[in-house]
Amino acid sequence: MIDIFFRYISPPTDSTMGGTEFIFENVKSSEMNAAKNLFLRFSGEKTIETTPYGEVLEKSDKIGRIYVNGVRVAEEENYLFSYNITSLTKKIKKALNRERRNVGRSAYSDRVIQILKTCSSVEIADSLVNDLKNFSLGIMHDEVKRIDVQIHAVQILNSQEDVIFLTPEEATEKTMMVDEAKRAGYNIIYIPETLRNKIKGEKDMSGNAIRDLDEFAVEYSDSFEYDFVDADQLDSEEKSNFFAKNQIFDLIGGKPTSVHEVKISETMKKDLTTFQDADGVYERGNKSIIIKRSQLRNLEDFCGTLLHEVGHAISNKEDVTREFELHLTRLLGIVSAKALR
């Protein structure tokens, strides 16, 4: 057979051409198509992104294909993309047989994940995150089940789009905050609890904090601007109620050292629990108590809000904490006892 083969080898007609030219005759179209399907250049699959380790390809049909330097070595029924591996690992080289067929997933799966984790395009991130939304149905593609791939997709999307990541449970529990985020123009991305815990405190591709509901609340608070009202802008009733603050401080033994001043504002930050306008806020940075102007319409409302914020100032704790409740209870006891006497 070898002798017969070599009889057909002829000297090159073009000495400058690299490689070998083969001419096949009497080949059926079906056989030719089957052969062409083994090569990426004839597959019709388009490159979405190129990395140092290989290419992510848009599938031409429902089957994902794995190529090594353009030659198909495997098929994956539950892959989101097709992949062309151009940087081979020792495991891949060892697994490749002469026909480049039937290469097991264990040989190339790590390289596929490495390709995905090196991608930086929004198109890839969007596809991964959209697939991730099916986690509750249990129908995610196999690459997306990897937590490191999920984190990478979140990092890309967070750095390039106005998004907030939260679990379906958080969306149910904090509807007011979610609605506020939507009004602010953020796109809500629902993720599983496992991923939510992993991205907590992590940075995105640009070095910014990944935005969950807690991070959104911090950004909201930091960007908020009060519309302060000077005392001389208040009407007579408002002034009378406002200056009652001095008597309140006298009742509790004087203005606490942690309070420098009390201010009135037309606008207020949202309460981070209900995400509705707060009646009062204690700003630790400048040691100020800020009270919403509408509270001055009623002396009881103003005094109650003032004492509430004094409780925060003294305890340096948030609502629904043991320390805050103890200090607030003590303040109520002092005022009540003096009123009874």
Q: Which structural domain range is residue 181 located in?
A: 122-223
Rounded distance, CA 67 to CA 88, Å?
A: 11
pLDDT tens sequence across 191-222: 989 999 999 989 999 999 999 988 888 888 88
Spacing of C-alpha 259 from chain mean position? 37
DSSP assignment letter at 210: P
Query: What is the DSSP annotation of 51-68?
Result: ETTEEEEE-SSSSEEEEE
Domain closes at, from 95, 118, 141: 118
Q: How far apart are CA 7 and CA 265, in angstroms?
A: 98
Q: What is the mean pLDDT of the chain?
A: 89
- Amino acid making up residue 121: S
pLDDT at position 1, please? 46
Residues 63 and 157 placed together within one structural domain of the fold: no
Kindly state whether residues 112 and 178 are assigned to the same domain.
Answer: no
Cα(42)–Cα(26) distance, rounded to whole angstroms?
21
Give residue 99's pLDDT band: very low, low, confident or very high (50, 70, 90): low
What confidence tens digit (pLDDT) does each residue in 308-321 have?
A: 999 999 999 988 88
Q: Are residues 6 and 101 in the same domain?
A: yes
Angstrom CA distances, 226 to 275, 283, 290, stand at: 16, 12, 9
pTM of structure:
0.68
From CA 41, how far away is CA 112, in angstroms rounded? 19
Statement: residue 3 has pLDDT above 70 = no
Do 106 and 6 lie in one domain? The reply is yes
Choose the final residue of a domain: 223, 242, 257.
223
DSSP, collapsed to helix, strand or coil, labels residue 85 as: strand
pLDDT, average across residues 176-180: 85
Which of 66, 99, 118 is at the close of a domain? 118
4 pLDDT more than 90: no
Pair 251, 333 in one domain: yes
Number of domains in the chain: 3
Within 245-285, strands assigned E span: 261-265, 280-283
| pLDDT value at 2 more than 60 | no
